[in-house]
């Protein structure tokens, strides 16, 4: 945005334009009028009047469902209070949940009928990025992460040890480079084997008789063991610039010619190997974004519009040089029969709107804030209509679909409301029925135990379900707050309910016909610098039946893509369809401390400090700087990806232990102050960081952290946004 545009937007801030029943903040009104609506066949007044009608008709249902959440929580609290100190009775507890309509009957067997789904979602298993939509640099890095360099990924991460002369140094280390080449050749041999010998001995690749051929140092030649893996090439047949291979629906591009550093002396003239990496990316308006007012929302919406038009760009300085980053173009190759092959150059994009519990004053109806999720849907869908109409430089969906992920839904009634909201938006924006595809985040307990019923409500537009351990754990702790003290946070990762929840998500998705039709996803790898550990463990998500899984960076996507070559997810899903169904009883298991277990003072102190440090490390940036997602050093200085979901579990965990007397309020204050000093030290090199320990009584981020814990029990469903929004607005107004 130019300086003039910024000044103009600030001048319009807090001013409203009256349109029918709505008062629309001026910056938002002009964004829609001047940038989003043109060329969409949607008139501005029609857009806002349609939104007013939608809010008028659906907001009462939205409010009623939020009230039902509170009513159910109150009944569950009362149930646990009426059974203090007694052995938990799973059968009685389950019947109680059925009686209060928390647990509903499963629908009869059915299959989803979603149509016009892009291959990236239906047929190509692969990594998925989740990126804060308010950060254009991250956004462009992610959209361009469809293809990633194996050479860069191996060389720059701990997937290759620094022992035996392989240390990463400021200058290029040729020994480490040789290890990168060896590792990459092993990858090619494993998944793109030659008819004989190995890629390590090839001195030249060329195209012969419409096949990929390889020449060895001894003068002999061979071809691929599976010739159909060869897709196309660029350059000339006898001296190609690159060639394209395919395995498990994932493509690998071998680049030939004079390279830099790693491939400079390669005897086969390979200077890099690029693989399809981030097949899809969720552009996030929610947990990873600190968007608390109209100004913030404009940034989020404008970035999404730029993606849908293909115009998003960012200019920055590097080593004294001005660099402009833009969206990558598609790739073209010459096929074996001389036809042109076009490959998508960018990750397929979904957008995650906020949950139905939030409101925004960017638009007022009868003087009151409106549900933010309704505004999100209308604006992001209208922006995406440019893609549907082919108005942009690039195409996102090639099947005419718009992919919207809905978070924080509790049970099938809320999914039904979201489905009606989607239908109304389609009518208002002139979109064909079911153009808006829905992703359901299976991250709330009432959704987990009723997942089949939730999917049934969205069966004509469903394209995605995904487990979210952290939000799901936060909701589990809050829901059963009165049942007793929960086990330490790390132990929850091995709790009965969590394993059952993860398995059930896949089983239900497959049962409902999602194989070859939609994505069944798994959650984030939270340690972006620990790639060697990721490569050893994250393949378990594929073994569990997920055809996509979240990663924290483009390099992580490149490395994680290797897992999808190693394991055939489709075959694994087929096998899992024959397994015994997980019982809902297991998912309802409550992770409580054994009544006979006595935690030591050191155990309690460690748990409290670990949670407090995580809360402060995240909130200091969210509230203090408006950063919704970042690498936050933990108590051991290990960088972890933190967002509102990690904050929810940590704050609810402390609130639970406070409520049950394991820790006191004084101990919380003492721990928070100790950890705040550590967080200040960890951020000492950040010029924009304001230390909390200078004055705890006036530090808004510190006070937000205290609120999140001491007021944790009273927050609806344990959500953190109500406190975060208030404190961030307070910080911005200073």
Percent of the chain with pLDDT over 90: 91
**DSSP label at residue 261:** G
Catalytic residue among 643, 680, 707, 727: 643
Angstrom distance (rounded) from CA 254 to CA 331:
13
Contact (CB, 8 A) for 357 and 13 = no
Q: Following DSSP, what letter does each residue of 322-353 receive, concatenated?
A: EEEEEPPPPEEEE-TTS-EEEE--S-EEEEEP
Q: Residues 288-317: what's their mean pLDDT?
A: 96
Rounded to the nearest angstrom, the gap between the alpha carbon of residue 434 and the centroid of all alpha carbons in its chain is 23
Q: How confident is the model at residue 512 (pLDDT cuts 50, 70, 90)?
A: very high
Query: Is pLDDT above 80 for 1?
Result: no
Query: Is pLDDT above 80 for 13?
Result: no
Angstrom distance (rounded) from CA 24 to CA 48:
9
Query: Is pLDDT above 90 for 488?
Result: yes
- The predicted pLDDT at position 10 comes to 47
Q: How confident is the model at residue 422 (pLDDT cuts 50, 70, 90)?
A: very high
Note if 319 is an active site residue: no
Angstrom distance (rounded) from CA 272 to CA 187:
13
Catalytic residue among 255, 352, 472, 572: 352
- Give the tens place of pLDDT for each residue, 643-654: 899 899 999 999
Query: Is pLDDT above 80 for 3?
Result: no
Give me the phi and psi of 282, to 5 degrees please: -95, 115
Question: What 3-state DSSP class applies to 284?
Answer: strand
- Retrieve residue 344's tokens: 């998508």
Q: Following DSSP, what letter does each residue of 621-661 receive, concatenated?
A: HHHHH---SEEEE-TTS-EEEE-HHHHHHHHHHHHHHHHTT
Query: Is pLDDT above 90 for 642?
Result: no
pTM of this prediction exceeds 0.85 = yes
Query: Is pLDDT above 60 for 595?
Result: yes
Q: Residues 563-569: what's their mean pLDDT?
A: 98
- The predicted pLDDT at position 326 comes to 97
Q: Residues 455-467: what's their mean pLDDT?
A: 98
Among residues 274, 289, 282, 286, the alpha carbon closest in space to that of 128 is found at 282
Query: Is pLDDT above 60 for 240?
Result: yes
Query: Is pLDDT above 50 for 635?
Result: yes
Query: Is pLDDT above 50 for 9?
Result: no
- The predicted pLDDT at position 705 comes to 98
Q: Residues 378-394: what's their mean pLDDT?
A: 97
Average pLDDT, the chain: 95
Domain ranges across the chain: 58-82+92-124+282-311+347-522+567-587, 148-276, 601-732
CATH topology of domain 148-276: Malate synthase G - maily-beta sub-domain (2.170.170)
Percent of the chain with pLDDT over 70: 98
- The predicted pLDDT at position 2 comes to 52
CATH number attached to the domain at 58-82+92-124+282-311+347-522+567-587: 3.20.20.360
List the single range of 220-229, 347-356, 631-640, 708-717 with lowest mean pLDDT. 631-640
Query: Is pLDDT above 90 for 224?
Result: yes
- The predicted pLDDT at position 8 comes to 52
Spatial CB neighbours of 293, under 8 Å, sequence gap ≥ 6 = 361, 362, 729, 732
- Give the tens place of pLDDT for each residue, 533-560: 999 999 999 999 999 999 999 999 999 9
Contact (CB, 8 A) for 463 and 117 = yes
For residues 358, 360, 365, 371, the Cα torsion angle rounded to the nearest 10 degrees is -30
- The predicted pLDDT at position 485 comes to 96
List the single range of 310-319, 332-341, 389-398, 709-718 with lowest mean pLDDT. 310-319
Domain 601-732: CATH architecture, name and number where available: Up-down Bundle (1.20)
Q: How confident is the model at residue 12 (pLDDT cuts 50, 70, 90)?
A: low
Note if 352 is an active site residue: yes
Q: Residues 310-335: what's their mean pLDDT?
A: 92
Q: Residues 582-586: what's their mean pLDDT?
A: 95
Query: Is pLDDT above 70 for 11?
Result: no
Q: How confident is the model at residue 401 (pLDDT cuts 50, 70, 90)?
A: very high
- The predicted pLDDT at position 169 comes to 92
Give me the phi and psi of 148, to 5 degrees please: -135, 150
- Give the tens place of pLDDT for each residue, 653-681: 999 999 999 999 999 999 999 999 999 99
Q: How confident is the model at residue 630 (pLDDT cuts 50, 70, 90)?
A: confident
- Give the tens place of pLDDT for each residue, 681-720: 999 999 999 999 999 999 999 999 999 999 999 999 999 9
Class of residue 82 by CB neighbours under 10 A (exposed 0-12, middle 13-18, buried 19+):
exposed
SS3 content of the chain, % helix, strand, coil (to 5): 45, 20, 35
Instruction: Give the gyration radius of the chain's Cα atoms.
Output: 26
Query: Is pLDDT above 80 for 154?
Result: yes
Query: Is pLDDT above 90 for 627?
Result: yes
- The predicted pLDDT at position 6 comes to 46
| Location of structure tokens 């899809």 | 280
Q: How confident is the model at residue 368 (pLDDT cuts 50, 70, 90)?
A: very high
């Amino acid at each position: 945005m130019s300086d003039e545009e910024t000044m103009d937007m600030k001048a319009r801030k807090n001013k409203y334009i009256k349109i029918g029943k709505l008062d629309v903040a001026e910056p938002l009104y002009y964004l829609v009028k001047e940038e989003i609506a043109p060329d969409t066949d949607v008139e501005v007044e029609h857009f806002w009047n349609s939104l007013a009608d939608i809010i008028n008709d659906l907001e009462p249902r939205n409010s009623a469902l939020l009230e039902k959440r509170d009513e159910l929580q109150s009944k569950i609290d009362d149930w646990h209070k009426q059974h203090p100190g007694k052995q938990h009775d799973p059968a009685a507890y389950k019947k109680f949940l059925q009686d209060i309509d928390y647990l509903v009957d499963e629908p009869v067997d059915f299959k989803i009928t979603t149509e016009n789904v892009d291959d990236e979602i239906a047929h190509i298993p692969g990594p998925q990025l989740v990126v804060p939509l308010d950060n254009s640099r991250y956004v462009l890095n992610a959209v361009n992460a469809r293809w990633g360099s194996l050479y860069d990924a191996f060389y720059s991460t701990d997937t290759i040890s620094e022992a035996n002369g392989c240390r990463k140094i400021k200058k290029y280390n040729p020994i480490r480079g040789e290890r990168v080449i060896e590792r990459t050749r092993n990858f090619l041999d494993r998944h793109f084997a030659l008819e004989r010998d190995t890629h390590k001995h090839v001195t030249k690749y060329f195209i012969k008789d419409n096949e990929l051929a390889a020449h060895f140092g001894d003068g002999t030649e061979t071809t691929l063991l599976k010739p159909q893996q060869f897709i196309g090439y660029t350059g000339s047949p006898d001296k190609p610039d690159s060639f394209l291979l395919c395995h498990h629906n994932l493509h690998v591009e071998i680049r030939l010619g004079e390279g830099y550093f790693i491939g400079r002396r390669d005897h086969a003239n390979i200077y890099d190997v690029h693989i399809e990496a981030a097949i899809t990316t969720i552009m996030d308006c929610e947990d990873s974004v600190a968007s608390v007012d109209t100004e913030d929302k404009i940034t989020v919406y404008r970035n999404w519009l730029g993606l849908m038009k293909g115009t998003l760009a960012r200019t920055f300085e590097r080593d004294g040089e001005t660099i402009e980053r833009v969206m990558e173009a598609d790739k073209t190759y010459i096929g074996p029969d001389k036809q042109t092959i076009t490959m998508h150059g960018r990750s397929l994009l979904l957008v995650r709107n906020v949950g139905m519990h939030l409101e925004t004053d960017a638009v007022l109806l009868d003087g009151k804030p409106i549900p933010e999720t309704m505004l999100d849907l209308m604006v992001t869908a209208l922006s995406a209509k440019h893609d549907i109409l082919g108005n942009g430089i690039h195409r996102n969906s090639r099947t005419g679909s718009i992919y919207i992920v809905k978070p924080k839904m509790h049970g099938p009634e809320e999914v039904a409301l979201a489905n009606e909201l989607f239908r109304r938006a389609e009518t208002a924006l002139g979109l064909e029925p079911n153009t808006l595809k829905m992703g359901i985040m299976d991250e709330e307990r009432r959704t987990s135990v009723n997942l089949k019923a939730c999917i049934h409500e969205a069966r004509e537009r469903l394209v995605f379900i995904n487990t979210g351990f952290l939000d799901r754990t936060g909701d589990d702790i809050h829901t059963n707050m009165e049942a007793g003290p929960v086990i330490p946070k790390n132990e929850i990762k091995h709790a009965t309910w969590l394993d059952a929840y993860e398995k059930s998500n896949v089983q239900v998705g497959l049962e409902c016909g999602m194989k070859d039709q939609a994505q069944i996803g798994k959650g984030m790898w939270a340690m972006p610098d620990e790639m060697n550990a990721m490569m050893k463990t994250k393949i378990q998500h594929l073994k569990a039946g997920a055809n996509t899984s979240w990663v924290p960076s483009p390099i992580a996507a490149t490395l994680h893509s290797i897992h999808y070559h190693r394991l055939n997810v489709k075959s694994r899903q087929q096998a899992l369809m024959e397994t015994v169904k997980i019982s809902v009883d297991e998912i309802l298991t409550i992770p409580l401390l054994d009544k006979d277990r006595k935690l030591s003072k050191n155990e309690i102190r460690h748990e409290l400090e670990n949670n407090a440090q995580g809360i402060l490390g995240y909130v200091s940036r969210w509230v203090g700087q408006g950063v919704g997602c970042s690498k936050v050093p933990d108590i051991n200085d290990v960088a972890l990806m933190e967002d509102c979901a990690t904050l929810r579990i940590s704050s609810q965990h402390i609130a639970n232990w406070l409520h049950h007397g394991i820790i006191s309020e004084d101990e919380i204050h003492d721990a928070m102050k100790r950890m705040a000093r550590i967080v200040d030290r960890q951020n000492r090199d950040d010029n924009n960081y304001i230390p909390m320990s200078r004055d705890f009584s006036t530090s808004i981020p510190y006070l937000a952290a205290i609120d999140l814990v001491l007021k944790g029990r009273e927050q609806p469903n344990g959500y953190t946004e109500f406190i975060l929004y208030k404190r961030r607005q307070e910080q911005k107004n200073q």
